[in-house]
Structure formats: structure tokens, C-alpha cells
């Protein structure tokens, strides 16, 4: 799972990337014009895996991970420059869109003053322009090959024209209903405005809760215009990149003390990671034992046999049964053997739909 951090220049993308990854890429008061895209792997924070590790004391603990990309910012109205950025971020499963909401006169703002909602819309429009360019080019190419005598695929043209119409009326594609066949046609196009998105208002650390709520509410209103169910595709949060970066440099003890002073139980970055995970409809199941306690990522709705395949293809092929217990149930009892004795370890077949937090032991035979 890969997430691209994007937004206008100087919104704090690299600051947030550093906080997420523990890296130390240079940030600056000026707009970055040149940089190589940076990719880094981040562990998904999950208190459940910590508790399981505490119980099983395994040799190894393996959480799930997510990849983040940091690259140049987008420029209002510069389709060519933005295309360079889009060409790289279009591979991502989702976008983390950072919107500057902090005041600092020393940090140049490409559009002048601090106006988070204007900036939010500006970037959404750049996604739309970028996609419109892609659709138009694709339709031209189809037309050219038609002239050369190649029979065009009517289905593709139909769905591309629907995209074009939506984009021309400034509607992001993520809010257009496509059936499964249409989605399959569109997937290789990797449209930006079709990607799920987390909006991150990067605020001053001392911004009041009311002011943060106001920004979030305004952004909700903006997305609600497109769909009352916009939350299926867009999540909106706020954090302070600068504060998160400082937090990420502390030892766990210092972090705890600092956060409890603020009356918060975990860094806002954890929320960002979790929200993105949920947005992409990913869930985790666990395997446990003395050797390893491990979290595995699957798409919501995956059945037990497919989930086994995440671990090893032999397990999928030779799948017999899954022994399953939910995380909460397990914690109440505290041991697998007593659950087994009480008959609380469920035996599930290959079609069982795995739930978030399931602890699973697969039985298989090869
Ligand atoms: N006050 C304040 N300053 C911040 C915050 N986040 C970032 N900055 C500052 O804003 C400036 C730009 O931050 P970067 O992280 O380089 O921003 P960027 O979006 O990566 O910038 P480009 O890559 O040039 O587009 C730096 O001087 C940061 O220290 C924040 O939450 N509060
Ligand atoms: Mg940067």
C-alpha cells in the first residue's frame, strides 16, 4: 500500500514525511524546485500487536507497513510542471493532500496569504485538469487509430466520455459512479481525481480546537457538494507537522510525557496512518506464536483461503480450515489453549470472511 503526499509548494509535506518516516530530508522556507521522489516504509501503529507481543513474548514482532512518497509540490495553473509530479504519484493507492494552515511570514506561500480552503480547491482543480488532459489525449489516440482502420472499443469511449463530462463540470472522478466493468477499463488510466484522499490541514501547534473544527467543517461542506457519502473516499484531519516532527524525535518515554501534558494519548500521525489504512478498506489479521507475532494486511471482504495465501501460496492451495478468535475475545481469555478447551476457538471454512483483528491459525496440507 502506497500513499503519495502532495499539495501546493511549502505546505509542510516534507516536514510530515520526515515525522512519519524518522528521516531527515531538508525542509526550507523556499519552494523546492528540484528533488528526487522519496519513498519510505512506515510501520502501522497498532496497540493490539503490542498487547499480543506482551502475551506471547515472541522472538519477532512484525507489524504491517505502508509506503509514503514525498515529492515536489503542485503549482497552480502549470499543467506541464504538475504532469511531472502526477506521473510519479499516479502509482499510489491514495493521496495525502497537505493544506497549509499555519502562519509564518518567513515561509513563502506560492499564492500569497494563508487561505486553506482556497488552496484545497486549487489542488483539487489541478487533479481535475490533469485528468482532463489524460482523457483528452486518450480519446485523440483512439481517434487516430480509428483512422488507421483499427476498430475502436466502444465501451472504452463511452466511459471516457463520461469522465470527460464529469471533469468538465469540475467533478472529481472519485464521486462518479462506475460499475465494475467501467472501473476495470479506467484502472490503467490511474486518474488522480479518482484516488481516495486524506486531507491534512497542517496547522500551527497552538491553533485552537474551534479553529481546527472550523476548517474541517468547511472542507466537509466542500466535499458534501459532490456526494453525501464523500467520507467513503475522502477523510479530513488536522495536525501540526512541526509538532509531529518534534514528537517523532523524542524517546517513547518523553513522547508519552509530552502527550499526556497535552491531554492526548497518541501522536496525530498515528491517526493519519490509521485513517489512510481504513480509507483503502484494508484490515489486519494476526498470526501468533512463540516465534512470531505478526499483523497481515488484507482487503476488507477477503475470505479465509485468500487470506492464507497472503502468508504462503501453499497455505492457500492446501487450505483445510482456519482456527479463529477475535482479538477482544482472545484478550478476555488470555490464552489460546484455554479458548480451545472451552471450545471458543472457532473452526471456519475457506469462505469465511476474515474480520479486522481476527487471530488465525491456518490448517493446511501440501
Ligand atoms: N509553523 C509551522 N511551520 C511549519 C509547519 N510545517 C512545516 N513548517 C515550515 O514550513 C517550511 C516548509 O516546510 P516543508 O516541509 O519543506 O514544506 P514542503 O511542502 O515540503 O515544501 P516544498 O517541498 O518546497 O513544496 C519549513 O520552513 C517548515 O519548517 C508547521 O506545522 N508549523
Ligand atoms: Mg518538500
Residue 59 has pLDDT above 90, yes or no: yes
DSSP 36-71: --EEEEEEPP-HHHHHHHHHH--SEEE--EEEEEE-
Residue 33 has pLDDT above 90, yes or no: no
pLDDT at 11: 97
For residues 42-53, give the mean pLDDT: 93
For residues 199-219, give the mean pLDDT: 94
356 closest CA partner among 5, 49, 140: 49
Task: Enter the DSSP assignment of 74.
Answer: B
Region for 141 from its dihedrals, namely left if φ exceeds 0, alpha if ψ lies in -120 to 50, beta otherwise:
alpha
Grid cell listed for 124: 483539487
Q: What class is the 301-364 domain?
A: alpha beta
Å from CA of 28 to ligand 2 middle: 8
For residues 216-240, give the mean pLDDT: 96
Residue 278 has pLDDT above 90, yes or no: no
Å from CA of 5 to ligand 2 middle: 10
At residue 318 the predicted structure's pLDDT band, cuts being 50, 70 and 90, is: very high
Regarding the beta carbon of 108 and ligand 1, being less than 6 Å apart is answered: no
What is the chain's percent helix, strand, coil content, to nearest 5?
45, 20, 35
Nearest ligand 1 atom to alpha carbon 9: 25
pLDDT at 213: 95
Regarding the beta carbon of 302 and ligand 1, being less than 6 Å apart is answered: no
Global pTM reads 0.91
Decide whether 2-47+64-123+189-279 matches 301-364 in CATH topology.
no
At residue 243 the predicted structure's pLDDT band, cuts being 50, 70 and 90, is: very high
Regarding the beta carbon of 18 and ligand 1, being less than 6 Å apart is answered: no
What is the three-class DSSP state of 230? helix
What is the C-alpha separation between 58 and 314, in angstroms, rounded?
24
Residue 300 has pLDDT above 90, yes or no: yes
At residue 165 the predicted structure's pLDDT band, cuts being 50, 70 and 90, is: very high
At residue 29 the predicted structure's pLDDT band, cuts being 50, 70 and 90, is: confident
Residue 34 has pLDDT above 90, yes or no: no
pLDDT at 351: 97
Regarding the beta carbon of 31 and ligand 1, being less than 6 Å apart is answered: yes
What is the C-alpha separation between 211 and 103, in angstroms, rounded?
13
Regarding the beta carbon of 262 and ligand 1, being less than 6 Å apart is answered: no
Residue 58 has pLDDT above 90, yes or no: yes
User: In this structure, are residues 14 and 23 in contact, taking their beta carbons and an 8 Å threshold?
Assistant: no
pLDDT at 80: 86
Among protein residues, the one whose CA lies closest to atom 14 of ligand 1: 12
Q: pLDDT tens-digit profile of 68-91?
A: 999 999 999 888 889 999 998 899
What ligand is nearest to the CA atom of residue 75? 1
What is the C-alpha separation between 118 and 45, in angstroms, rounded?
33
pLDDT at 28: 86
Q: What class is the 2-47+64-123+189-279 domain?
A: alpha beta
Q: pLDDT tens-digit profile of 100-156?
A: 999 998 898 899 899 999 999 999 999 999 999 999 999 999 999 999 988 888 999
How far is the CA of 318 from the CAs of 207, 305, 359, in angstroms? 56, 9, 19
pLDDT at 293: 97
Task: Enter the DSSP assignment of 309.
Answer: H
Regarding the beta carbon of 286 and ligand 1, being less than 6 Å apart is answered: no
> CA dihedral defined by 145, 147, 148, 151, rounded to 10 degrees?
60
Task: Enter the DSSP assignment of 303.
Answer: B
Residue 252 has pLDDT above 90, yes or no: no
What's the mean per-residue pLDDT of the chain?
94
* Domain ranges, ordered by start, for the chain: 2-47+64-123+189-279, 301-364
Q: Which residue has the higher pLDDT, 330 or 108?
A: 330
Å from CA of 192 to ligand 1 middle: 24
Task: Enter the DSSP assignment of 232.
Answer: G
pLDDT at 261: 85
What ligand is nearest to the CA atom of residue 123? 1
What is the C-alpha separation between 13 and 255, in angstroms, rounded?
22
Å from CA of 27 to ligand 2 middle: 6
Å from CA of 272 to ligand 1 middle: 18
- Cα 249 to chain center, whole Å? 23
| Highest mean pLDDT pick, 75-89, 157-171, 262-276 | 157-171
Amino acid at each position: 500500500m502506497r500513499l503519495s503526499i502532495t499539495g501546493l509548494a511549502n505546505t509542510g509535506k516534507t516536514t510530515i514525511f520526515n515525522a512519519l518516516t524518522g528521516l531527515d530530508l531538508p525542509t526550507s522556507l523556499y519552494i523546492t524546485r528540484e528533488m528526487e521522489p522519496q519513498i519510505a516504509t512506515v510501520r502501522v501503529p497498532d496497540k493490539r500487536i503490542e498487547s499480543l507481543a506482551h502475551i506471547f513474548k515472541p522472538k519477532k514482532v512484525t507489524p504491517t507497513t505502508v509506503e509514503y512518497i514525498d515529492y515536489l509540490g503542485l503549482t497552480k495553473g502549470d499543467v506541464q510542471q504538475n504532469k511531472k509530479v502526477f506521473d510519479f504519484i499516479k502509482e499510489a493507492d491514495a493521496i495525502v493532500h497537505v493544506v497549509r494552515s499555519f502562519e509564518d511570514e518567513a515561509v513563502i506561500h506560492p499564492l500569497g496569504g494563508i487561505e486553506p480552503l482556497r488552496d484545497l480547491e486549487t489542488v483539487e482543480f489541478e487533479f481535475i485538469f490533469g485528468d482532463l488532459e489524460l482523457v483528452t489525449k486518450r480519446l485523440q489516440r483512439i481517434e487516430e487509430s480509428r483512422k488507421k482502420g483499427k476498430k475502436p472499443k466502444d465501451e472504452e469511449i463511452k466511459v471516457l466520455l463520461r469522465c470527460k463530462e464529469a471533469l468538465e463540470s469540475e467533478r472529481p472522478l472519485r464521486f462518479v459512479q462506475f460499475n465494475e466493468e467501467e472501473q476495470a477499463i479506467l484502472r490503467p488510466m490511474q486518474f488522480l481525481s479518482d484516488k481516495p484522499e486524506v486531507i491534512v490541514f497542517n496547522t500551527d501547534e497552538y491553533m485552537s480546537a474551534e479553529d481546527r473544527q472550523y476548517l474541517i467543517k468547511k472542507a466537509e461542506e466542500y466535499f458534501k457538494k459532490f456526494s453525501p457519502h464523500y467520507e467513503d473516499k475522502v477523510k479530513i484531519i488536522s495536525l501540526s507537522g512541526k509538532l509531529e516532527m518534534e514528537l517523532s524525535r523524542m524517546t517513547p518515554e518523553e513522547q508519552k510525557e509530552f502527550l499526556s501534558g497535552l491531554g492526548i494519548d497518541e501522536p496525530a500521525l498515528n491517526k493519519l496512518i490509521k485513517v489512510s489504512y481504513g480509507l483503502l478498506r484494508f484490515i489486519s489479521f494476526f498470526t501468533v506464536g512463540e516465534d512470531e507475532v505478526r499483523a497481515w494486511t488484507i482487503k476488507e471482504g477477503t475470505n479465509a483461503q485468500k487470506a492464507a495465501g497472503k502468508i504462503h501460496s501453499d497455505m492457500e492451495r492446501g487450505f483445510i480450515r482456519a482456527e479463529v478468535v477475535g482479538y477482544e475475545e482472545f484478550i478476555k481469555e488470555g490464552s489460546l489453549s484455554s479458548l480451545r478447551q472451552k471450545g471458543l476457538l472457532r473452526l471456519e471454512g475457506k469462505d469465511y470472511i476474515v474480520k479486522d483483528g481476527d487471530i488465525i491459525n491456518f490448517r493446511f496440507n501440501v
